[in-house]
Structure 1
Amino acid sequence: MTGVSILLVDDEKDYIETLGVRLHQRGIVTDCAFSGPDALLYLSKEKSIDVVLLDIAMPGQNGLTTLQQIKSQHPLVEVIMLTGQATVHSAVEAIKHGATDFLTKPCDFETLIATVEKAAARRHERQMKILDIRMQPYLTDIERKEQIRQVLEK
């Protein structure tokens, strides 16, 4: 799965640094942020992130609030929620607000890899659809924007 770029966001520094090393060994480019605001700042500067692996329970700005801001500001970025305090309600809220998937800690590493691969493929597919829409000369600007909006909402 080389070429995939992930931002790991969790206040548990040792956990995500260790996870980052393991993902890097699989050819995945990783970087870490230790809070929601740090993640948003990173994403505003770094345009090549495919997937964000985001913890829900963080001090200050929680993961659900961060998720909403990521999807608002960077709609193509896929977000996988990861938490040690899973509830049905938090999973439903995460999916409702645009999360691609929801995993609980500790997560089986192979399951995590498969979920990341799926999310990266989804991002690539959506990106290609948007490029195709932008290249269609017969669409009006309004039609083009509407079709792109529909791709981003799926």
Structure 2
Amino acid sequence: MDKMKLLIVDDEKDLCRILSDRLHILYGVSPDVAHSGDAALKMIKKTPYDVVILDIDMPGMDGMETLKQIKAVSAKIQVVMFTGHGTDETRRMAEVLGAFSYVDKIDGLPKLAPMVEGAYRLRKMLEDTYADAALNEYS
């Protein structure tokens, strides 16, 4: 797998460190980390991330609003919601807003890692599809 550009957004600093370490071991990537929605959006406007792991319950801008803003910046960025405070309603809302998937923190890394990998593959397919469409447009 190519090196994915990955961003973890969660106000729990210890969790971010653990996720970063584990994802580095699994995929050889060094994820960037933001501890708020506002910080994440500033980073996303500067760096073309492939996948964002996003918590829902954060002080300030919550994960749902952050998801909306991420999709407004770039619809191709794939977002995996990772939360310990989820409900069926938040799951449905995340889907409506364009999240790739939704994982409960209770399920942990065993479910998160395959979702991140799937999100990255979709991101790369979208990139290739847009490139093909652009080439066909000008051919």
Cα offset for 1:138? 6.1
Q: What is the match of residue 97 of structure 1? A: 97
The structure whose RCO (Cα within 8 Å, separation 6+) is larger is: 2
Which has more radius of gyration?
Answer: 1
Aligned residue number for residue 4 of structure 2: 4
Q: Which residue does the alignment assign to 2:86? A: 86
Instruction: Rate the CA distance shift 1:138–1:2 in 2: closer, same or farther, 3 A.
Output: closer
How far, CA to CA, are the matches of 2:131 and 2:50 in structure 1? Answer: 16
**Structure 1 stretches of 5 or more lacking a match?**
140-154
**Following the alignment from structure 1 to structure 2, what is the Cα–Cα distance between the partners of residues 85 and 68?**
19
Aligned structure 1 segments of 4 or more residues deviating by more than 3 angstroms = none
Instruction: Tell me the distance in 1 between the aligned counterparts of 2:13 and 2:109.
Output: 18
Amino acid at match of 1:102: Y
Alignment of 1:1-154 (within 5 A): 1-26=1-26, 27-47=28-48, 49-137=49-137
Give the Cα–Cα distance (whole angstroms) in 2 for the partners of residues 92 and 22 of structure 1.
Answer: 28
Instruction: Give structure 2 stretches of 5+ with no counterpart.
Output: none
Q: Would the aligned equivalents of 1:3 and 1:29 in 2 still touch at CA under 8 Å?
A: no
For residues 39 and 72 of structure 2, what CA distance do their matches in structure 1 show? 16
- Give TM-score, length-normalised by structure 1: 0.85
Aligned residue pairs total 138
| Percent pairwise identity | 37
Quote how far apart the aligned CAs of 1:65 are: 0.2
Amino acid corresponding to residue 69 of structure 1 in structure 2: Q
The alignment's C-alpha RMSD in Å is: 1.4
Cα distance in 2, alignment partners of residues 74 and 138 from structure 1: 23
Q: Say if 1:79 and 1:100, in contact at 8 Å, map to a contact too.
A: yes
The whole-number CA distance in structure 2 between the counterparts of 1:2 and 1:32 is 20
